[in-house]
Structure 1
Amino acid sequence: MPPTWRLAIYLSLAVFTFFYLTLTVTFFYIRRHKIDDFKYRPLRLNLLSAIATIMLCVMYCLRTAFYPNDYPCLLIHWPVHIGYCLWSSAIACRALSFVWTARFNLAKLQMNTVYRNNAYEGTVATLRDGKKRAIGGGKMYKLDASDKEEEPLILKRVRKWRHAATDKWLAERIIYPVVAFSIALGLIVQSFSPELGFKRIQTVCPTTAVSSVPITTVIVTFLIVVCPFLCYLLHDIRDAFGLKRELYIAMVCGAAACVGYFVLEEVVTAVREYFGSFMFSWIFFMIWHTISITTPLVRSFKKRETVELKPDASSKYRNFVAVLEDPDLFPLYKECVAACFCTELIVFLEEYQVLKSLVVQAGNSIHQPTPLSPATLKEKKSISFADIPRRAVEPAHSIVQTPCTVSITDTVPDLSKIPISQELYEEYMRFYYMFFDQDSELAINIHGPTLAEAKAIVGAGRFEITMFEKSRHEVFELLYWNTYDVFLRMFGDEITEIKPQSKVFKTLDRWGIVKKNGARSYIV
């Protein structure tokens, strides 16, 4: 019979573990739409990994409470087989889904070159079906998949696996079969292991028993084969939500849990009387659950207002505008936006520059367009954040003399005198379907009234040169509130190296986001 103190402590810990894990998962599900990065946390995969964590952690506490010979081996056998396989497969699927999301957002940076055939050489933009179609009585142009031969190779490859990145597909094709395999493996092992029989319940469960070899092999295979492969897929990805770091922590915790168990079980045996061999595993799984479930849940209760880094918001916004206008900082900012998974917003600004250039061209303005710069990303079979060029001139700054922060209205003196050419009309319609069609992969998430106004103009068959100005303003707001603070934290060092005398650097210096004595100092 185990000591009373150990029974009391570890049974209480088992109850606490069950309620803590269950309640946090329940509230995570209830408040999922309040979590900022929820759409990058596949719900099904999170719930399955949480179920596995509950199963394992409660078993760890009960086994330790009744250690050494009062806890049935059968109640260790099944939680280990099902729990470890379920948890490992759920983490692997989360990593695969995250990798696809990151790659697809990078591939979107090429999409602004997909639908344009040398627009600056006077060539009419490629149309989706090569003909006009009626929408609400008006004749509109719409891009279609007939241009797929012209798409960048990486975009084709990433889109091909879109269906395989959903949590439903991953659960049905990977997790459920793995769990079925673990159940079958458990039944086979149980049928050949006397200590796991139902007739005579055994409580002596040595780790060197033959029954533990199959599941140990599965766990070791995951740690030395699957985890390094997942790390290889994740290593060159940057994200602003800490999801990559979270997945790394998951793999480290899984490995540490297994190593800690075997160390306590076979090496430091004297400690088991006070600190069970499974308790290292309990600690690491609880850390993982707190990071992946509890932390996002707690953040969802905080006010969703952006925290100001200084009292004068207008000055901060002017610094944001300065970043967009700076040819050296803009490439860094594009990398940040890609890390925030809102690439469509930066592509919107670059495509807006295309419209501005054509309007200037049509109005014979003094701002003459320059030849289109090479594509932002060279076509490759794979893509990474390192492929985002950090050169001095970006397309958004080279198309016209005015930067993307200057509107068409402020660039062209008298818009009423601009002749509406077929090319200009087609380019506007291409822009509309690229960013306002909800079926588009580059659809932007703007306020309903602004979206409805643009749809009404197109539906009525009207054409207004200023029809996208409100949308442009909202895109600036979305970028400012959702990415600018992240940009300052991600690239504080690079800003100090590239622009040591800039306003942005001076702001960073006042805020403390600068390199000091070889280390970065943060106050946010």
Structure 2
Amino acid sequence: MNDTTYDLSELSNLTPPAPHVPKLPPTVLHTKAIIYSTCTAVYTLFVIVTSVLFVIRTRKDKYRSAKLMLIETTGTVYLCIVSGLSNAFTPHWPCFLNLWGLYLGLSLWLFGFIARTMRLLFQSEFHQAKLHITALDADNSSGDEKPTWDRVLEKNELKSQSQTRRYRFGRFIERFSWDRKRHWFTERNLIRSTMGGIFIIFVYLTFIQIYSPRFTINPPNTRCDIAWEYAPMYVMVFLHIFVVCPLLTYWLSDIHDAYGLRRDLILETVIAAVSYVLFFSVLRLFGHLKAYFGNTLFLFMGLAIIHFVGVVVPLWKTYKKPVDSLTLEDLEDPDEDDQSTDAPNGAPCDRPSRRSAGNESYKLSQAIKRQSYNFMHPPLEPPPPLFESDTLVGFQRGKPESVHNSPVTSVKSRVSLAPPPIGSSGKTLEHKILTSNTLQSSMTTNRWNGFIQLLSNPRRFENFKYYAAACFCTELTLFLEDYQQLKRRVYPLYKLRTSEQSTRSKNALSLPASDNTVARNVMQTTPFPMKLSQLPAVQDRRSTLPVNSPATDNLSAHRPVPSTSTSTKPPPSPGITPALPEPSAALDIIDLPMDQQEVSPPHVTIYETVGPVYLPLQMQYDYSNNNNDNNQVQQRLAIAQSPPVPQHLCPLFYAFYRRYIDPESALALNMPGSYTREVNQNIRNNTFSITMFDEAHKEVLKMLYENVYPRFLKMRRTSRNRPKM
């Protein structure tokens, strides 16, 4: 028996013969090479440009996971180059380039897609869980140890009585703690996991490149057929088709988001599965087509469609100018017409149900209304009026409760009052910020009016919170609720009273408006940084905001209105810090029932609430409003210049800081760096002021008005305008 030895370069001859491929004329091969090369270069440039613009335009949108999308795009580029050039230069294309291109391209796209889907699933579950967080409590948040999310979410979830729907993915991972899940599903850790999988693939390819004779570099092998070296890639593809795709579709079909991410991911899953099937089957059935294009072209076509859906379309939407086509009908409360549409437990409806369609916003609107119906529309009780002028409505997160059930509203409850008088200028700083152009159309004004009305109505605001959760902005609505708590606790301490004449102040409140002698005496006994003659005229505090519901004040008809006839002089220069006195003692004000305490609506800052009633602050407040000819808001008072926080409220302010401003908090807001540094410095110096969170309040209003409220109107309008069956 003769022993036969082979050189490594000769082992390629042992591979099975390739299937018959018809030979093309040289002119056809040349034309094919030019077409494929040109298309590859153009499309590669297109993918790179659109991906870079996508990352730049969406770098602040954390919900889109732009870095994970960039990993997917890198895989698309790899497959684009390999597919285009291999079809252009067949049969002279080296096989090792196919090996590296297919493995790296598919692995980058597949791992990036799974990571992006898992992050969306967790974000949806996490923001739904945030709705269960109770109101701010200084007693439980003022310690040095930061509470874990297991304590913040899981404990409060047991107390919550809202019928929030548990997603399928949430039920799958509920065995793990929230702190562990937050660590796992951060974008950084998902990228690390993806890179770990890519590193394993890279090690495997290096091993194959060294020891396999089918993928030699010198001399290059050009007879590229199915080989065992592709077995791991085929396993990944089949697992993706028969395990990953059905499982992700099952989980994704249960969640709702306001950006269409769920729709895009499900569409990408279906397209990927179809491209895999074509990759394995078409050329096996139609072998004569292999002379014109290879099977990798089907993978490239599938990922090209996915790139268009996941990158190009969202990028185009960022450049699309929003058209404000809302009418007065769009600003109406759609719940008034839909109260019987989604009756729970299969109860019959008086009105015909709306037609179910594939529109994403319509589905989201209907799903959110089903989730919030149980506590948004209590049985056997008529719905509350659109604006509560004489009734205070208090509600905890997830549990509305009328204040008439208890004589005193709990400190932990969430309240929203009818708009009281808010200042001499009749306009809030937020209103000037968001409607600074005096030539804006009436539609924009109506839209702003509808927004502030929504914030002031507890029932509609509770529904709005679910849309904010669908926009992954739950912390913005939670901020407004907790900020209102701060305002309610601060405002009574800065009323027009002094500790020496509290009795005379109470009597002055019952005098007719024409008799203001007592009020002037009280005003003269209140210390302020300048002489009385330098103070501006204090006008009636009745609001002139363009709100459809008139602002009411139960005590305004009997309150004396202090006024002066002197001219207004400018305040001190910015370099001089006015010596603002301490607020008057709380006395028995804090013991009054909450429905007897005045507080401004949620869109008004503490500065604008306290400014008209706290005389030392009136000078700065009126000057910043009266001398604003160009509707440009003056800079806010520095924290050191603002009235201090009473000692007994400092723990509450510190708890508020720890929840929303501290960068390490999971509810931390995306605030300007200069503001965050200023607040952090004052916290370290133990300096608290009543206006230290006003700038954060303005940013929250702006984000809600520009990002969440338009989607809220669009989805509610889509739900209302669907044709009835």
Q: TM-score, normalised by structure 1?
A: 0.70
CA deviation after TM superposition for structure 1 residue 191, in Å: 4.9
Which of 165, 170, 173 is matched with 2:190 structurally? 170
Contact 1:223 1:255 in 2 (8 A): yes
Give the corresponding residue for 1:490. 715
CA deviation after TM superposition for structure 1 residue 351, in Å: 0.6
CA RMSD of aligned residues (A): 4.1
CA deviation after TM superposition for structure 1 residue 348, in Å: 0.6
Give the corresponding residue for 1:373. none
Of structures 1 and 2, the larger Rg is shown by 2
Give the corresponding residue for 2:602. 404
Contact 1:323 1:329 in 2 (8 A): yes
Equivalent residue of 1:515, what SS?
coil
CA deviation after TM superposition for structure 1 residue 10, in Å: 5.2
Is structure 2 residue 85 aligned with structure 1 residue 62?
A: yes
Is structure 2 residue 531 aligned with structure 1 residue 515?
A: no
Going from structure 1 to structure 2, the CA distance change for 1:146 and 1:348 (only over 3 Å counts) comes to closer
Give the 5 Å matches for 1:465-480: 465-480=690-705
Contact 1:189 1:211 in 2 (8 A): no
In 1, distance between residues paired with 2:198 and 2:680? 47
CA deviation after TM superposition for structure 1 residue 259, in Å: 0.9
Going from structure 1 to structure 2, the CA distance change for 1:105 and 1:146 (only over 3 Å counts) comes to closer
Give the corresponding residue for 2:622. none
Give the corresponding residue for 1:264. 282
Deviations for 1:193-215, whole angstroms, at most 9, x for unmatched residues? x65456776545455x5554442
Contact 2:47 2:77 in 1 (8 A): no
Between 103-112 and 444-453, the greater mean CA deviation after superposition: 444-453
Give the 5 Å matches for 1:8-157: 8-9=31-32, 11-22=34-45, 24-25=47-48, 28-29=51-52, 32-35=55-58, 38-66=61-89, 69-113=91-135, 116=137, 125-129=139-143, 144-145=145-146, 150-153=151-154, 157=177
In 2, distance between residues paired with 1:71 and 1:420? 75
In 2, distance between residues paired with 1:487 and 1:166? 27
In 2, distance between residues paired with 1:368 and 1:411? 20
In 2, distance between residues paired with 1:431 and 1:465? 12
CA deviation after TM superposition for structure 1 residue 421, in Å: 6.2
Q: Which has the higher contact order (CA 8 A, sep 6+)?
A: 1
* Identical-pair percentage: 27
Going from structure 1 to structure 2, the CA distance change for 1:24 and 1:86 (only over 3 Å counts) comes to closer
Contact 1:73 1:203 in 2 (8 A): yes
Equivalent residue of 2:83, what SS?
helix
Q: Which amino acid aligns with 1:308?
A: D
In 1, distance between residues paired with 2:155 and 2:274? 36
In 1, distance between residues paired with 2:200 and 2:271? 24
CA deviation after TM superposition for structure 1 residue 153, in Å: 2.7
Q: Which amino acid aligns with 2:485?
A: V
Going from structure 1 to structure 2, the CA distance change for 1:95 and 1:149 (only over 3 Å counts) comes to closer
Contact 1:52 1:86 in 2 (8 A): yes
Which of 259, 264, 268 is matched with 1:250 structurally? 268
Deviations for 1:101-138, whole angstroms, at most 9, x for unmatched residues? 4444334434454x52xxxxxxx622443xxxxxxxxx
Q: Which amino acid aligns with 2:192?
A: E
Give the 5 Å matches for 1:320-335: 320-335=451-466
Between 146-155 and 472-481, the greater mean CA deviation after superposition: 146-155
Is structure 2 residue 303 aligned with structure 1 residue 281?
A: no
In 1, distance between residues paired with 2:244 and 2:93? 32
Going from structure 1 to structure 2, the CA distance change for 1:161 and 1:185 (only over 3 Å counts) comes to same
Q: Which amino acid aligns with 2:303?
A: F
Between 481-490 and 77-86, the greater mean CA deviation after superposition: 77-86
Q: Which amino acid aligns with 1:14?
A: S
CA deviation after TM superposition for structure 1 residue 91, in Å: 1.5
Going from structure 1 to structure 2, the CA distance change for 1:11 and 1:213 (only over 3 Å counts) comes to farther
> Which structure's residues are more often helix, by fraction?
1
Which of 447, 469, 483 is matched with 1:338 structurally? 469
In 1, distance between residues paired with 2:139 and 2:260? 39
Which consecutive residues of structure 2, in runs of 5 or more, have no partner in the other structure?
Answer: 1-22, 157-175, 327-440, 493-585, 617-642
In 1, distance between residues paired with 2:713 and 2:229? 54
Which consecutive residues of structure 1, in runs of 5 or more, have no partner in the other structure?
Answer: 117-123, 130-142, 371-398, 497-513, 519-524
CA deviation after TM superposition for structure 1 residue 79, in Å: 2.0
In 2, distance between residues paired with 1:18 and 1:463? 60
CA deviation after TM superposition for structure 1 residue 457, in Å: 6.4
Give the corresponding residue for 1:318. 449
In 2, distance between residues paired with 1:199 and 1:462? 72
Contact 2:24 2:291 in 1 (8 A): no
Q: Which amino acid aligns with 1:404?
A: P
Give the corresponding residue for 2:485. 354
Deviations for 1:392-430, whole angstroms, at most 9, x for unmatched residues? xxxxxxx99975346666599956799976543322232
Q: Which amino acid aligns with 1:516?
A: P
Give the 5 Å matches for 1:285-300: 285-298=303-316
Q: Which amino acid aligns with 1:161?
A: K
Contact 1:100 1:158 in 2 (8 A): no
Going from structure 1 to structure 2, the CA distance change for 1:400 and 1:25 (only over 3 Å counts) comes to farther
Equivalent residue of 2:475, what SS?
helix
Give the 5 Å matches for 1:170-209: 170-181=190-201, 183-184=203-204, 187-188=207-208, 191=211, 195-196=214-215, 203-207=222-226
In 2, distance between residues paired with 1:73 and 1:492? 56
Q: Which amino acid aligns with 1:46?
A: M
Equivalent residue of 1:125, what SS?
helix
CA deviation after TM superposition for structure 1 residue 220, in Å: 0.5
In 1, distance between residues paired with 2:317 and 2:59? 8
CA deviation after TM superposition for structure 1 residue 480, in Å: 0.3
In 2, distance between residues paired with 1:335 and 1:487? 10
Equivalent residue of 1:236, what SS?
coil
Give the corresponding residue for 2:24. 2
Deviations for 1:53-78, whole angstroms, at most 9, x for unmatched residues? 122122222333355x5544444333
